[in-house]
Structure 1
Amino acid sequence: MIGVFDSGVGGLSVLKELVNMFPQESIVYYADNANCPYGEKSAEEVSQLCDDVVKILLSEGCTLIVVACNTATAAAIDYLREKYPDIPFVGMEPAIKPAAKLTKTGVVGVLATEGTFKGRLYQQTSQKYASHVKVVVQPGWGLVDLVEHDKIETAAADALLRKYIEPMMAAKVDQLVLGCTHYPFLSSAINQITGGVINLINPAEAVSKQVDRLLAKFNLRDSKEVPSYKFMASGNEVTLLEMVERVLPEFQKQHLKRHP
């Protein structure tokens, strides 16, 4: 069984890819929305929150866990792998490599949380794959809250995105890395601002490929003919369920369990 967690609903962008790629796998999704957003918290605090969630997912029978949150990956994945050496963890690696490979202008943008920019993975990936291009970074202050509160198609969302995206357009960015799992839900709004001239890079597909490799490596594939799905939340379960119904309408009748 695959466990997937995020600070809120953002990880559903990863879950959608996993469901499409592994229709036979059972999945438990946990939204720690009582503590969202993670991006403004210290690495130590995020690590403790992640540890608490992992314990819940393990109690649900999960044998592989996807940390579907860039901030949580940056702050906690090394800690989690050390504490739980028998559990394969898959994190969110900033997709700078494909952006640097695809750019025609030589300028790529990264929209992410401050926690992601401060993380080891982002810094190592940037140095390794993007030393030959110009990287325009932009913390996405406030964007997670917009997604969590279902304010994606609002004037406030448009104004905030324009504040972040228009300077990138002026800098000739042609590839934009969505460095937070909440941000793919803003793709349509971003494309409206850019007119589609900036290619948006969502790392969910790469995560699914890594999950595939680990399921095979550790012989963890689910043999059940009919998979099961469970959605859990530490806080407001209504927001999670509404987003599940929108992103994965086939799950709208599935049981949502609130975990105190």
Structure 2
Amino acid sequence: MSAETDPVKLMKQQVGYAAAQRVQSGSIVGLGTGSTTAYAIQAIGERLQSGDLKDVKGVPTSFQAIVLARQYGIPLVSLDEIDKIDVAIDGADEVDPQKNLIKGGGAAHTQEKIVDCLADQFIVVVDSGKLVDHLGSTFLLPVEVLPMAVTPVMNAIRKLGGSPELRMGVKKAGPVVTDNGNLVVDVKYDRIDNPKELEQTLNNIPGVLENGIFAGVVDVVLIGEVKDGQPIVRDMEHV
């Protein structure tokens, strides 16, 4: 089955394209990480090439975003060069009804959080399988940790009621290393009742750089679904 006929890929593409349509000329755009966001980056690039968009610059959240932006002709700027981000587009691994997120499946959540939280408008693009009643239902919580602190951080997390394990590489011997040169500890919680509180508590453990809870920062959630074999996109506000 090709990408053109695979309904799931088509749906991810349409969600990414719907987010890209919200980008306006003259804006600074935070470029997120992941498969759905990749389609948004592609669509922004296509709008620039066609002349539909002008004078757009991207702020990448990962090596993946840098590579895609270059591939699709989006000029990049660093946070040193700008004083604001107009809109950020990014994916998520879980979204709860209050629009809190778990991110970090791609181990880029630290840079994503810096960029996404700076944006005037933060748009999340997901498929309906990412919607949960409460965070921690389906996905482990990623915590980025300085390598020397992995053991004490894991001990501290256990005392807080989480079950941590070091994320190991696929097609790589040893642990996953982030774009920042750190390690990722994935933590199992039965349920996360107070995301904002847990986000702050984990970040206060010495050696923790950032965790994958994004509480209270999302403005818009665009959800892709396949209904009767057809991809559709809806806004979480209008269920």
Q: Normalised by the size of structure 1, how large is the TM-score?
A: 0.29
User: Using CA pairs below 8 Å that are at least 6 residues apart, which structure has the higher relative contact order?
Assistant: 1
- Structure number with higher helix proportion: 1
More strand by share: 2
